[in-house]
Structures are given as C-alpha cells and as structure tokens.
C-alpha cells in the first residue's frame, strides 16, 4: 500500500462495552479518494468502528492517524474539524427546525450585528441541496420530509463542513429504489470532487456496484480487506459468517407434535414509510415441541412479527393468526398472556426489566395474583413461587430482595424468562434472547430452550447470530424487508444460504414507491 495515499489509519483499535468486546484489535487503512465498503453481520462492530472514527466513542486501545498525524477525537466536533463527517443510520436532525437551520445547526452564520444571517444560510443550503439533486426548499420543516430527503439533508450538512471524508452507515436501509439510485449518483459526484467515502452496508449488490475495496468485520475483528475485483459476493458473505461453530450444543432430534400456532398471509402496514409495510404476506406455523427460528437482518420485521402475534404491535394488521386452530386477534398483551402465549422482548433494559423493583418482584410480576389470599399478597407464597422458578432457570442472585440491576445481563434475562415461564405458556416468543449476554449464560439459555421444547412448548426464536439460530432451530424462516424469502429445514440450512436469502430484499423491492 502506498503510504502517501493513506488518509486514515486505524491501528489496533479495541473497544469494550460492559460484557462485550465490540472491537478487538482492528486495523484499517483508508486511501484518499476511494470508496471503501465495510461489510459484516449485525453486531460485527461496523458502527462502533465508525463511531470511533467520528469522535462519538474513544477507543480503549489503538491509534488513529489522519493524513499522517496522530489524532484523538474526544467529540464529534474534533472529528468534524479534521474533515470527517458521519451520516448515522438513525438520522440526527431536529425535526421541528427548517432544513437550512438543521444544516447550520451549531455553526449558524451571523451578520455583522450578531443576528442570524438567515438569507445567507438559506442561499448556501439551496446551493448544497441543488448539488445533491434534492428538490426541497431550505425553508421546509425537516420532520415533514421523506427519509430519503432527510438523509440528503444530513449529507448537505456534512458537505457544509467541507468534509473530505464522509462515513455513511447503512444509508439505503430506509430508502426506496429511486432514492437509492439518486444517492448513488450523489456518491459519484462526491467522489469526482475527491471526497473519500466509507460506506457501511451488507447489501452485496450495492457494495459490488460502488466500492473500490471491501473490508469485512466479524465478531469485532477485521477478517479481510480485498479489492472489489478480487472478490465475489459469495466470498464476501462467506467471510461475513464463516466462523468456527464451536459453541453449538449437541442436537438430538425432536419430534414435533400438532400445530399450535399458524400465521397466514400477515400484512402489517407502515404508514409514512417508503416501503409502506412492516410485514407483507408472511405465513408460517409452529408445532408443539418445535423451535422455529426467524432469521433476518436489522429492520427485516422479526420483532414486528412477534409483537403482532403477541398483541403488542403498534399497527392494525390483516391476515389470520390461528392459535390451536382458532382464529385470534389480540389487542393487548394481556389477552395473549391469558391464551397461553409469552414473549421475551428484544430490548431487555427498555421493555423487560423494572429497574425500581427487586429480583423477586420482577419475576413474580405476571403471576402475582396466585400468591393472593384474602385480597393480600402473601409474601411467603410469592417467594416460594419465585424461588422455584429461578431455580429452574438457574438465576444466580444473592437474594430475592436484591436489586435487579445488580445482576449480570444474562441473569436479568433469565429472570425475565422465569417471569414468563411462571405463566405456563404453550407458545414462547423469544426476541433475540441472547443479545448482550455472556457465553456461559447463552449456553444455559440454549439448554433451557431445549428442555422446554421437549416438554411440549412451541418456541419461536429470533436472533441476530446465525450460528445460534442454526443450532437451536428445527426449522428456520428467513425474513427480508418484511417478506418471507426462504424457509429451511434444519438439515438444509446453512449460514451462507440464510445470509443470501436475508440480503435478497434489494432485488424484489418494487411497486411500493411514489414518484418524487
């Protein structure tokens, strides 16, 4: 590699979060004027690496060099001053301000008297938007724009900083086909002006259309960096998933019973979004004593599917859900609960744990009425009930009255599973149950799922980790952009085939967009 052309060097970057190593000794060189694609599965560390480059996080270890000078970005301002701008996956715009106010937020242009120089900001914004083929007024309210236009506002903001290095974190994940094409043209124009672009994506068609080089991250490590001409999409997906599957537990065949839950042609609308739906035409079924895995990338609709079944979804839906052969339409989780469905939510901290309650109260919450005698909760019955349940799931705690936040992530998750097992469900919905928990706790959860399944429970499980799904599931349904793109039996499924089905979306996305 020619050292003179290297504009950014990240050397030996390591970043830990409580319980997880997000990045482990990652080294990356970016050359001036190139478009470098960074690929990897969910949780591979792509976004964390870019957040370090743009000053959102400080690395625990490692060095960052920009244009041959070692730098240490404490804030995004520091990175912006060095000409690095990032366009986050979740856009950072103040929805109630105008487009031009957003573009110059925090760096407002002023007149000689110190008042806001609206005219100049509007004019500059207009020029920037024009150069991006963006036909919106700088005066329009940002929150009222379509996602694609909001993203261009972010890009305009980056350009107003005269950024020479622009990081784009999965920019097309919320865009329609024509908006994606427009973004590609914008990228082309930026490159002709000499801007270096780092492009995060896991969509192979995009990556191979745009990139000069491709870097692949897996489990927080840099697996490989390759010129586009020297790689094929199959190879890259292979590098993304190809890890040793050593943590797979021994699987002995299970014999599924009768069908307990069926979903037919489920359609969940998504008003205001370019795609128009969260889920469309989803059909699946699960039997007693069977684990059905649901695979899909971020935004594929896994959580929405489980929430809709559980009666917790935000939208009205159409289609049919049959529980034990009877059509059901839950409007509140309590109804699903009474009908024998339990759901462990994806975001444990936000949707699962009650931080102000003890371990015991967290576990007994759904079934507290069983401990009631004469209108009052009997502490002894409650404690016996909780103690039994957390013994079954293997929660390690110093006592039932200790604070739940004092437990490790894995033990917190086991508490939530205990809470639901006390309701004696027939169908258990697990939304990414092992996210952010350590390997030991994961193994225990796998064993628990196997035991429950053998007792006749039907389990639907989603996961962002494919090896986990492969080792847990009897069958796997793959979702991509709200649609089922494949279904595999255990013996047909492989990481490669699932990943290919999960990244299919971009090709069959037509017919749902409005003309700009």
Partner 1 sequence: MSPSDSSFPGRSLLRSSEWALVLAIILAVAITALIDANHSYYFKPLESARDIARNTALLGIFALGATVVIIAGGIDLSAGSMIALSGTVCAATMLALAPAEMIGFKPVGPLAVVTAIGASLTAGFLVGTLHAWLVTSIRLPPFIATLATLVGLRSFARALCESTTASFTPTKSALINVYDPFFKTVRDNVWISVAVFGVLALFTWIILTRTVLGRHLYALGGNEQAARLSGIRTDNIKWFAYCYGAMTAALAGLFYVANESVAAPVNQGRGHELNAIAAAVVGGCSLSGGIGSVPGTILGAIFLRVVIDAVSKIIKTGADVYEGLIVGIVVVIAVTLGQLGHFAAGGRRLLPGSLGLCAIPTLSIFCGMIISMTAGARVGLASGLAALVLLGILRVWESRRF
| Contact footprint for partner 1 (CB under 8 A) | 310, 312, 332-334, 336-338, 343, 345, 350-358, 360-361, 365-366, 368-369, 372, 375-377, 401-403, 405-406, 419
Q: For residues 310 and 331, what is the distance between their CA atoms, to the nearest angstrom? A: 8
DSSP string over 323-347: ETTEEE--SSHHHHHHTTEEEE-S-
Residue (51 or 419) nearer to partner 1, CB: 419
The CB-of-401 to partner 1 minimum distance in angstroms stands at 5
Distance CA 177, CA 275 (A): 10
Q: Where are the alpha helices (DSSP H) in 301-438?
A: 302-310, 333-338, 348-351, 359-364, 379-393, 409-421
Q: Report the alpha-carbon distance of residue 312 to residue 153 in Å, rounded.
A: 34
Report, in Å, the least distance between residue 360 CB and partner 1.
7
- In the complex, the smallest distance separating the C-beta of residue 73 from partner 1, rounded to whole angstroms, is 21
Backbone angles phi, psi at 384, to 5 degrees: -65, -45
Based on CB atoms, which residue is closest to partner 1, 113 or 376? 376
Q: Select 40 or 352, whichever has its Cβ closest to partner 1.
A: 352
Beta carbon of residue 358, minimum distance to partner 1 (angstroms, whole number): 5
Phi, psi of 215 (to 5 degrees): -110, 135
Q: How far is the CB of 208 from partner 1 (least distance, A)?
A: 40
Whichever of 33 and 333 has its CB closer to partner 1, that residue is: 333
What is the closest distance, in whole angstroms, from the C-beta atom of residue 368 to partner 1 in the complex? 5
Nearest residue (CB) to partner 1, 412 versus 480: 412
| Residue 417 tokens, joined | 């599973």
State the helix-helix crossing angle for 177-192 and 147-160, rounded to 10 degrees. Answer: 10
Residue with smaller CB distance to partner 1, 44 or 422:
422
Residue nearer to partner 1 on the CB measure, 136 or 312: 312
What is the full DSSP assignment across 176-205?
-HHHHHHHHHHHHHHHHTT-EEEEE---HH
- Both tokens of 86, joined, read 């990032």
């Amino acid at each position: 590699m020619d050292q003179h052309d290297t504009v950014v060097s990240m050397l030996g970057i390591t970043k830990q979060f409580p319980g997880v190593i997000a990045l482990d000794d990652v080294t990356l060189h970016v050359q001036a004027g190139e478009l470098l694609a960074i690929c990897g599965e969910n949780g591979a560390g792509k976004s964390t690496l870019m957040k370090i480059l743009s000053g959102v996080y400080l690395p625990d270890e490692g060095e960052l060099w920009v244009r041959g000078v070692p730098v240490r970005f404490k804030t995004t301002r520091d990175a912006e001053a060095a000409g690095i701008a990032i366009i986050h996956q979740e856009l950072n715009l103040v929805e109630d301000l105008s487009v031009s106010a957003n573009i110059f937020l925090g760096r407002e242009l002023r007149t000689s008297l110190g008042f806001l120089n609206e005219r100049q900001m509007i004019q500059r914004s207009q020029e920037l938007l024009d150069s991006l083929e963006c036909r919106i007024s700088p005066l329009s309210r940002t929150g009222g724009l379509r996602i694609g236009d909001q993203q261009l506002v972010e890009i305009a903001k980056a350009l107003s900083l005269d950024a020479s290095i622009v990081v784009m974190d999965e920019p097309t994940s919320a865009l329609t086909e024509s908006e994606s094409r427009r973004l590609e043209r914008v990228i082309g124009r930026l490159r002709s002006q000499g801007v270096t672009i780092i492009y995060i994506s896991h969509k192979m068609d995009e990556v191979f259309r745009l990139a000069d080089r491709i870097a692949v991250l897996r489990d927080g490590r840099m697996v490989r960096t390759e010129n586009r001409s020297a790689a094929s999409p199959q190879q890259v997906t292979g590098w993304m998933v190809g890890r040793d599957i050593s943590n797979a537990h021994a699987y002995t065949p299970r014999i599924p019973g009768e069908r307990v839950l069926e979903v037919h042609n489920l359609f969940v609308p998504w008003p205001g979004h370019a795609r128009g739906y969260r889920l469309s035409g989803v059909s699946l079924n699960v039997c007693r004593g069977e684990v059905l895995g649901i695979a899909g990338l971020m935004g594929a609709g896994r959580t929405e599917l489980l929430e809709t079944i559980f009666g917790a979804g935000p939208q009205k839906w159409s289609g049919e859900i049959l529980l034990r052969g009877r059509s059901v339409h839950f409007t509140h989780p309590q109804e699903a609960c009474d009908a024998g469905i339990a759901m462990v939510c994806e975001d444990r901290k936000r949707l699962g744990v009650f931080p102000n309650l003890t371990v015991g109260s967290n576990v007994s919450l759904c079934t507290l009425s069983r401990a009631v005698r004469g209108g009052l909760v009997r502490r002894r019955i409650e404690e016996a009930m909780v103690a039994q349940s957390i013994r079954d799931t293997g929660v390690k705690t110093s006592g039932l009255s200790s604070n739940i936040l004092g437990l490790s992530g894995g033990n917190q998750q086991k508490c939530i599973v205990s809470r639901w097992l006390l309701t004696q469900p027939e169908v258990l919905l697990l939304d990414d149950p092992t996210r952010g928990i350590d390997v030991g706790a994961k193994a225990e959860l796998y064993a628990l799922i196997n035991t429950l399944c053998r007792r006749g429970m039907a389990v639907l499980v989603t996961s962002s980790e494919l090896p986990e799904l492969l080792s847990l599931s009897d069958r796997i349904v793959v979702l991509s952009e709200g649609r089922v793109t494949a279904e595999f039996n255990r013996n047909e499924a492989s990481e490669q085939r699932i990943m290919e089905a999960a990244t299919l979306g971009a090709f069959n996305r037509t017919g749902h967009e409005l003309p700009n």
